[in-house]
């Protein structure tokens, strides 16, 4: 390799933290390229949407979507794999990645946008400097106001409305406490090295909860084991070391998290599937479903959260189903036995139609 990979991203971006942590852990040579206002049309042209992160390979390929990026790079850099080879851990890692990418979005958006100091002290100055680095502050602030207005318009669709703040906060505190307990015993989710699920979780737990002033102070810093994990993920020890747990073990400390995967996230998938089927007849050729469909009431702990159905969550979940169905029969049986032991014996029976990704949308395959 004669040139480094290029990582087009912002530090403040949720999903950029996932790929940045991955590139650092794997020791892949890369250069982080800031996205300016004049960079966005190029990204739109190359990947079909104004998104971040985007990775450009030394060969000139433009890769978009964090899961796809990791899939590609795992093939090219097989050392220190982040996907376990044993069946239960392989599926568990994939499930947590999908749950973290999709179900944690209300948490990430709420704790960024519901506390004004995050906008004042972090978002406004940082995004302004990213977008228009050579402009005076008053012009930067005007540009950021437009960006913030657009992003705030998405809040009701992800459930961030005043009547639901308490629901999101209660669920988040419970999950963070569980993670803090787990990381008090293990360095990462499945042992002493990170798996795919760790990289899924670091997205919301770094950019939104770990860097924005209010949640960084009130949520992460007050949980020392979780705080230490965030630091390890973003500044991995070198050289790469550690192992996944022996005997395909899933730590007991993760079982409460899987309760949320199957009791909260799985019903969201089922309800989203219903919305997709309801709107299938209106699909336009080559465009797929809208990013947000009708409103659904999904479980969030002991409460219900009203959110918009997001078809992309089913594409993410499809990856876990593919992982399961690609296993040999004996390994599928081992995974099925584990699922039954945690009360999720029917989880892999959810009938998701084959989907393909089109930038930020999904369409029938």
Per-residue pLDDT of 68-120, as tens digits, reads 999 999 999 999 999 999 999 999 999 999 999 999 999 999 999 999 999 99
Determine the pLDDT at residue 1.
Answer: 57
Determine the pLDDT at residue 165.
Answer: 98
CATH match for 5-76 among 3.20.20.30, 3.40.30.10, 3.40.50.720, 3.30.230.10: 3.40.30.10
Q: Is 299 exposed, middle or buried (0-12, 13-18, 19+ CB in 10 A)?
A: middle
**pTM value > 0.75:** yes
Q: How many whole angstroms separate alpha carbon 311 and alpha carbon 317?
A: 10
> Which of these, 61, 135, 88, 35, lies nearest to 327 by C-alpha position?
88
> Which of these, 195, 2, 186, 187, lies nearest to 80 by C-alpha position?
195
Q: Determine the 3-state secondary structure of 297 from DSSP.
A: strand
Residue found under tokens 């073990």: 249
What are the domain boundaries of the chain? 5-76
Cis peptide bond prior to 53, omega within 30° of 0: yes
| Long-range Cβ contact pairs of 58-64 (< 8 A, separation 24 or more) | 58/1, 58/2, 58/3, 58/4, 58/5, 64/359
Determine the pLDDT at residue 241.
Answer: 82
Angle between helices 196-203 and 87-102 (to 10 degrees): 10
Q: Determine the 3-state secondary structure of 243 from DSSP.
A: coil
CA 131 to chain centroid: 23
Tokens representing 166 are 């308490």
Strand partners, 31: 6
Q: Is 134 exposed, middle or buried (0-12, 13-18, 19+ CB in 10 A)?
A: exposed
Q: Per-residue pLDDT for 286 more than 80? A: no
Q: Is 295 exposed, middle or buried (0-12, 13-18, 19+ CB in 10 A)?
A: middle
Per-residue pLDDT of 245-283, as tens digits, reads 999 999 999 999 999 999 999 999 999 999 999 999 989
């Amino acid at each position: 390799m004669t040139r480094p990979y290029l990582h087009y991203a912002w530090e403040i971006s949720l999903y950029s933290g996932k790929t940045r942590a991955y590139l650092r852990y794997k020791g892949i040579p890369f250069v982080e390229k800031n996205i300016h206002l004049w960079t966005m049309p190029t990204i739109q042209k190359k990947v079909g949407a104004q998104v971040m992160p985007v990775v450009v390979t030394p060969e000139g390929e433009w890769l978009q979507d964090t899961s796809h990026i990791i899939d590609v790079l795992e093939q090219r850099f097989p050392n220190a794999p982040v996907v376990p080879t044993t069946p239960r851990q392989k599926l568990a890692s994939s499930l947590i990645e999908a749950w973290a990418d999709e179900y944690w979005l209300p948490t990430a958006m709420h704790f960024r946008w519901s506390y004004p100091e995050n906008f004042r002290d972090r978002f406004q100055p940082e995004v302004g400097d990213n977008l228009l680095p050579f402009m005076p502050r008053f012009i930067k602030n005007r540009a950021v106001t437009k960006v913030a207005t657009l992003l705030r318009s998405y809040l009701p669709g992800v459930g961030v409305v005043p009547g639901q703040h308490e629901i999101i906060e209660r669920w988040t505190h419970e999950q963070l406490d569980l993670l803090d307990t787990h990381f008090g015993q293990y360095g990462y989710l499945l042992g002493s090295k990170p798996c795919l699920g760790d990289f899924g979780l670091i997205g919301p737990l770094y950019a939104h909860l770990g860097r924005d002033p209010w949640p960084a102070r009130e949520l992460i810093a007050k949980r020392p084991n979780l705080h230490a994990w965030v630091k390890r993920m973003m500044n991995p020890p070198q050289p790469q070391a550690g192992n996944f747990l022996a005997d395909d073990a899933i730590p007991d400390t993760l079982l409460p998290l899987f309760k949320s995967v199957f009791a909260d996230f799985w019903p969201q998938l089922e309800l989203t599937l219903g919305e997709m089927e309801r709107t299938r007849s209106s699909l336009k050729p080559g465009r797929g479903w809208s990013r947000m469909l009708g409103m659904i009431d999904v479980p969030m702990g002991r409460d219900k959260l009203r959110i918009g159905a997001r078809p992309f969550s089913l594409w993410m979940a499809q990856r876990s189903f593919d992982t399961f169905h690609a296993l040999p029969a004996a390994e599928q049986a081992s995974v099925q036995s584990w699922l039954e032991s945690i009360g999720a014996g029917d989880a892999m029976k959810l009938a998701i139609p084959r989907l393909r990704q089109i930038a930020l949308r999904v369409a029938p395959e």
